[in-house]
């Protein structure tokens, strides 16, 4: 008589997938923190996702800097100051608009 049923395997696979999904979510939260996503993921796998989330939330946040640049659609030059038209292209008689480019860095 076989004591192990296929429903047990399915349950273990589903529970394992949910466990990994929660650990990956903790890793995503940890990636915005000093501890990092990899350490938060490993902590969640080895201990539990609950301990992993505590570890990630106790860690201080990374400093996020948002910068705005303005890029010419014609020549590709970027400027920190906002101009109506690209100064480089305007010297050549072309009046190309600048598009706003936002960047986030740590």
* 73-91 tens-digit pLDDT: 888 888 888 888 888 888 8
State how far the Cα of 50 lies from the Cα of 59, in Å rounded to an integer: 15
Cα of 20 vs its chain's centroid, Å? 18
* Alpha-carbon 16 to chain mean position: 24
Do 54 and 71 sit in the same domain of this protein? no
Tokens of 99: 């598009």
Instruction: Classify burial at 18, counting beta carbons within 10 Å of its beta carbon; exposed 0-12, middle 13-18, buried 19 or more.
Output: exposed
Structural domains counted in the chain: 2
- Residue 47 is part of which domain span? 6-58
62 vs 79: CA distance, rounded Å: 26
In this structure, are 54 and 78 located in the same domain?
Answer: no
* pTM beyond cutoff 0.75: no
Question: What confidence tier does 49 reach under pLDDT thresholds 50, 70, 90?
Answer: very high
Most confident of 15-24, 58-67, 86-95, 96-105: 15-24
Domain co-membership, 101 together with 73: yes
């Amino acid at each position: 008589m076989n004591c192990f049923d296929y429903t047990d395997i399915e349950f273990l696979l589903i529970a394992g997938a949910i466990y990994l999904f929660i650990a990956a979510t903790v890793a995503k939260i940890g990636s915005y923190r000093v501890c990092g996503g990899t350490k938060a993921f490993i902590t969640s796998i080895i201990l539990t996702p609950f301990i992993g989330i505590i570890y990630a939330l106790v860690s201080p946040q990374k400093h996020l800097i948002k910068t705005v640049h303005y890029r010419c659609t014609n020549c590709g030059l970027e400027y920190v100051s906002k101009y109506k038209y690209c100064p480089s292209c305007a010297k050549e008689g072309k009046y190309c608009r600048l598009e706003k480019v936002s960047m986030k860095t740590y």
